[in-house]
Amino acid sequence: MKYKVLITDPISESGIKLLESNNCEVIIKTDSPKYIDDIIENIDAWIIRSGTKILDIHIKKAKNLKIIGRAGVGIDNIDLDAATQHGIVVTNVPDGNSISAAEHTLAVILALSRNLHLGYDSLMKGKWDRANLIGNEIRNKTLGVVGLGKIGKEVIIRSQAFGLNVLGYDPFVDKNILNNDDVQIVSLDKLITDSDIISLHIPLNDSTKNLFDMKKLKKMKASAKIINVARGGIINEQDLASALNQNLIAGAGIDVFENEPLDKKNPLLKAKNCLLTPHL
């Protein structure tokens, strides 16, 4: 008997072939994840990325489901309580995209600092707006890293090459395992008020949802920028758009959104100096 493995988000062909060569019947529903009700009753395993949400209703229907594999880090799109109650193992890949996320973070920081997105947009509109888009150096600026797990640490390592001073905040990380020469551990409030750039590397949960609302955004420097390549919902999107449009902060780089794909009515699409990428 073959194990039935449902895949509802894109994974590599090599991964699919590996499953097929190990007694698995692979069912791919990446283009139509909504039409799975007649399938999930018989599946043994379910592989997802960030695009699929596995809810309590799915888990109750999946009578034979034994394991959910998250091809990535975050598991906030899986109902963990329901999975636990039904004896379903949930796995992820903690190191899977640490380097990619760290590199994307630095790319966004540099793009915002040098106004690359604004320069490109102005050229596409037939303008030569060089004088107003000079940008600034990040050397000797202060980077505040919220979340000092694998990705946060990789960001800190790379930030050293650019001469950034680093502040860090993470209530769950042992300060003794961090190099004090690389990062100064501070409170969240001090990080917010003292940073020129804030980068978020924390999971989405009850304590971090809307963590950065208007109240916290107002504490930032008017010249500061905020980056989120972690999870949508950590920054209140309406509040961020308002803060940008009111010039309360200078810019934002957002790769993740509360609802994905990005809704055409999302306020960030019309916000000032907001560099958006589609969960890359």
**Residues forming the active site:** 231, 260, 279
Q: Give, in order, the Cα–Cα distances in Å from 64 to each of 21, 88, 242.
A: 21, 9, 47
- Distance (Å, whole) CA 92 – CA 142: 32
Closest CA to 26 of 14, 16, 13, 38: 16
Q: Is-contact 279 231, C-beta < 8 A?
A: no
Please, what is the Cα angle at 75 between 200 and 242, to 5 degrees? 40
Count Cα neighbours of 201 within 13 Å in the Cβ-side half-sphere.
32
- Helices of type H across the chain: 13-20, 56-61, 80-85, 98-113, 116-124, 150-159, 188-194, 214-217, 237-245
Q: 60-69, long-range: CB within 8 Å, 24+ apart, which pairs?
A: 60/86, 61/37, 62/88, 64/4, 65/40, 67/91, 69/45
- Distance (Å, whole) CA 146 – CA 153: 10
Q: Is-contact 248 276, C-beta < 8 A?
A: no
Q: Give, in order, the Cα–Cα distances in Å from 232 to each of 29, 63, 125, 260.
A: 24, 31, 30, 9
